[in-house]
Amino acid sequence: MAPSIDANQAEEKLTMDTFFNVGGGHRGESSPRYRVTVIGSGNWGSVAARVIASNTLKMPNFHHDVRIWVYEEILPNGEKLSKTINEANENVKYLPGIKLGKNVIADPDLDNAVKEANMLVFVTPHQFVSGICKRLIGKIKPDTEAISLIKGMEVKTEGPCMISKLITDMLGINCCVLMGANIANEIAVEKFSEATIGYRQNKEVADQWAKLFCTPYFLVSVVQDVEGVELCGTLKNVVAIAAGLVDGMDMGNNTKAAIMRIGLREMRALSKLLFSSVKDSTFFESCGVADLITTCLGGRNRKVAEAFARSGGKRSFDQLEAEILQGQKLQGVSTAKEVYEILSHRGWQSMFPLFTTVHEICIGQLPPLAIVEYSEQIANISSVEGVAQCC
């Protein structure tokens, strides 16, 4: 049974009755106003499409069909992935055994997949977003809203660029974010989970997105802190690499808990240094400490990092990614590199010893054991937080 929602949460948690009446559209409307396309058909993209498609069937102001853009692949049996999804109503490669819903339509043509949509859900590996957006310039409706489920960032000369801002800058559309303690396979079988939507200005749009995602087993809160929500979802993957290294060396739960605590401290400090608008309260939402715990206990970054440590660092993360994830992408290693670029550019490495050490282990500069062979440097971290609070 799902836990009850207390009174303090009631304002932010959207009940099912609220969802069906938020953001325009009434039960008497004759023509649907919104059409959704999911850009990305991996594990999480397939689950997101399934959740959304189950809700659009209940909402008269939404077109029932949900398109999902598929990066075309040829399966071992010679069939195209998109064709198999449409015929079997199942993503046999990335979400086997789960029916997506008859109203989920796979489309390998990106232009065609988005041409009628005015709500776009981005859920691809973060390194592909820029290329996808370039292809979409001038090809989407001017009133389109977007939401990013992508955990990552791009590092530019002027500093970090969050994926939501990249989408906004390249396409000229508003972009919210959704992050949380969301292991896709658990949501696919309807185990109770939560998520957090971050928005900048328009809460009505954020509520509209919540309307699309919320189910009795998947509750969504809405907070006005895009950067905070997005950085939580991004930085926790670096901490998960550290947690996996600890597991791979059988160091035990005390050590893992310490690494997670230090990681959360560095997540908060770096987030507030980079964006003064980040709220402390965001770290207590599903996107924050809950997502960190889940990822450090059961995520793919932890799993691959454990295998890396058990090999003594002799097998590369690229090799292990291909072997273990079967086509899914590992985000933690590339994010660790991007974070290190930010730290080194500003001379902050000593202020963030965990983030720095994870990257140096990933590139083979340090052995896996180095994850616990540094001082936390409390004075430096405290000074970072002091600066952040004054920004």
C-beta separation of 331 from 339 below 8 A: no
Centroid of chain to Cα 164? 11
Q: How far apart are CA 316 and CA 320, in angstroms?
A: 6
Three-state DSSP state, 35: strand
Q: How far apart are CA 205 and CA 138, in angstroms?
A: 22
Q: pTM of the prediction?
A: 0.87
| Identity at 342, one-letter amino acid code | I
Q: How far apart are CA 295 and CA 293, in angstroms?
A: 6
pLDDT of res. 329: 80
pLDDT tens for each residue of the chain, 391 residues long: 444 444 344 334 443 333 334 444 444 445 889 999 999 999 999 999 999 999 999 999 999 999 999 999 999 999 999 999 999 999 999 999 999 999 999 999 999 999 999 999 999 998 899 999 999 999 999 999 999 999 989 888 777 899 999 999 999 999 999 999 999 999 999 999 999 999 999 999 999 999 999 999 999 999 999 999 999 999 999 999 999 999 999 999 999 999 999 999 999 999 999 999 999 999 999 999 999 999 999 989 999 999 999 999 999 999 999 999 877 888 899 999 999 999 999 999 999 999 999 999 999 999 999 999 864 444 354 445 544 332 3
C-beta separation of 75 from 84 below 8 A: yes
Q: How far apart are CA 157 and CA 140, in angstroms?
A: 29
Around Cβ 54, how many Cβ atoms within 10 Å?
17
pLDDT of res. 331: 87
User: Which domains does the chain possess?
Assistant: 11-224 (3.40.50.720), 233-390 (1.10.1040.10)
pLDDT of res. 385: 52
Q: Which sequence positions are flagged as catalytic?
A: 236
| Identity at 301, one-letter amino acid code | N
pLDDT of res. 381: 47
- Could you give the C-alpha distances from 63 to 36, 58, 110, in angstroms and in order? 8, 10, 19
Write the Ramachandran bin of 368: left for phi over 0, alpha for psi from -120 to 50, otherwise beta: alpha
